[in-house]
Structure formats: C-alpha cells, structure tokens
Amino acid sequence: MKQIQPRQNYLGPGGWVWAGKYKLERYLYLLHRITGLGILLFLLIHLVMTTIFRIQGQDVWEATIALLHNPWFKIGEYLVAAAFVYHALNGLRLILQELGFAMGRPTPPIYPYKDSLRKKRPWTIALVAVIVILALVFFYDFIAGGW
C-alpha cells in the first residue's frame, strides 16, 4: 500500500464534518464514529475498574462505586448508555445496508430519480425516532434511579 502521490483533495477529519452538502446519512456516519470512539474510551476505564480495582476486594470495589456515583460520572454514564443505543441501532442499519437487505427493487433511472438512500430515508428517520425514544427511556431510568 505504498503512497505514490500525496492525496491532493484530502480534507482530513475536517472533511468528516463538511465538504459540501452532506445528507442525513453522512451525519449519522459521523456520529457513529464519534460514539464508537467515546465507547472505546469508556471501555478502557471500565476494564481498569473491573479488573485492577475489582480484584482488590470489597472495600476497594465499594470505594470505586461510590466515586462513580459522583454526578459528573453519572452524566458520563448516561452519555455512554445513549451512545451505545445509537451505535447499536445505527450499526444494525449499516449491516442491513452493507449486506444488501431492505434496498428496495431496482428502478429505471427516469426523472425524478429516486436513489437507494432516498428510498430508504423514511426507514432511517423511523430508526432515529426509535433511538431517541430508547435514549429517553434510559434517561428516565437515570433520573428515577435516584442519582
């Protein structure tokens, strides 16, 4: 994979956000990436907690849990839960799409064109609605959990 020429039109991470008119799916993709990196960061902290701290016994475990009841950690925990809901459901959409399911029948390219993204957009919007509802369910539980 030798790079023969520099990539002249390469925008870097800035191009993830804007390189002209982006549609809904592109922003879902960007959010997928951000939530993925966020969950990865949480995973590292979570692994340290459930291995190094947990093996030290009950006192250390309870001190760690008490620390995690700090409101800032609670907010972070909710963001991780919401990020998981988003990443999981959007990921299932991407899997269906990548494997060619739910693409609809092919149609002749006659004006007004209806590309496959536009055909699927109602489903995409419905999925976003489901994600929002589930995120609210988790939010309700965080509030009701007496944080």
When binding is defined by CB under 8 A, the residue of 11, 43, 126, 136 that contacts other proteins is: 43
The closest of 134, 127, 118, 47 to 83, measured between CA atoms, is: 134
When binding is defined by CB under 8 A, the residue of 25, 79, 119, 138 that contacts other proteins is: 138
Q: Does 29 bind other proteins (CB under 8 A)?
A: no
| Least separation in angstroms between CB 28 and other proteins | 15
Q: Does 57 bind other proteins (CB under 8 A)?
A: yes
Q: Does 2 bind other proteins (CB under 8 A)?
A: yes
The closest of 80, 147, 72, 56 to 64, measured between CA atoms, is: 56
When binding is defined by CB under 8 A, the residue of 8, 9, 13, 20 that contacts other proteins is: 13
Q: Does 5 bind other proteins (CB under 8 A)?
A: no
- Beta-carbon contacts of residue 80 (< 8 Å; ≥ 6 apart): 38, 39, 42
